[in-house]
Amino acid sequence: MAEEIIQNFGSKEAAYSNIILKIKALIGNEKDPIANLANVSAALKEAFNFLWVGFYFVKENELVLGPFQGPIACTRIQKGHGVCGKSWEDSKLIIVENIDEFSGHIACSSASKSEIVVPLIQDSKVIAVIDVDSNEIATFDQVDAHYLNQLCEWLVTIM
């Protein structure tokens, strides 16, 4: 299956459309959210060669590290802190073109240069966020935002 995920689809839109279909097929009827999010992280990282892809779960009053692929990560993030904490606090997607210009950025990896964070919202509450980091400046755009948001909207229906 892994070799089927890593393909050149041409455009970023085509790549996302195809990887989302493959993720849905990979997950199938699996009900375990940890297993599913682990595979989502791996599939996105492999398909796009991102530096880091992972999830943080809202637990009590902080974000706690969940399944991820990439370098070692911060384990806990406070609400409003860093890009993930701000996305959780505001319940909105955030794209950061250059993390050095984001006030309050939490440097879990010095290799990270740009970032996108998308909240997973269920019953009007953020239950988790997906965090995707790149080792290049300005990697993420509205195409990433559209498809990652679409993926997150689907993920909350199976969690």
What pTM does this model have? Answer: 0.91
Q: Which domains does the chain have, with CATH numbers?
A: 2-158 (3.30.450.40)
Q: What is the pLDDT of residue 107?
A: 67
pLDDT digits (tens, 9 = 90+) for 117-157: 999 999 999 999 999 999 999 999 999 999 999 999 999 99
- The secondary structure of 8-45, three-state, reads CCCCHHHHHHHHHHHHHHHHCCCCCHHHHHHHHHHHHH
pLDDT digits (tens, 9 = 90+) for 52-89: 999 999 999 999 999 999 999 999 999 999 999 999 99
What are the DSSP E strand ranges found in 6-157? 52-59, 62-69, 76-78, 94-96, 114-122, 125-134
What are phi and psi for residue 61, nearest 5 degrees? -115, 40
Q: What is the pLDDT of residue 7?
A: 54
Where would I find the H helices in 91-141?
none
What are phi and psi for residue 63, nearest 5 degrees? -95, 135
CA distances to 22, 58, 108, 113 from 146, rounded to whole Å, are 17, 23, 25, 21
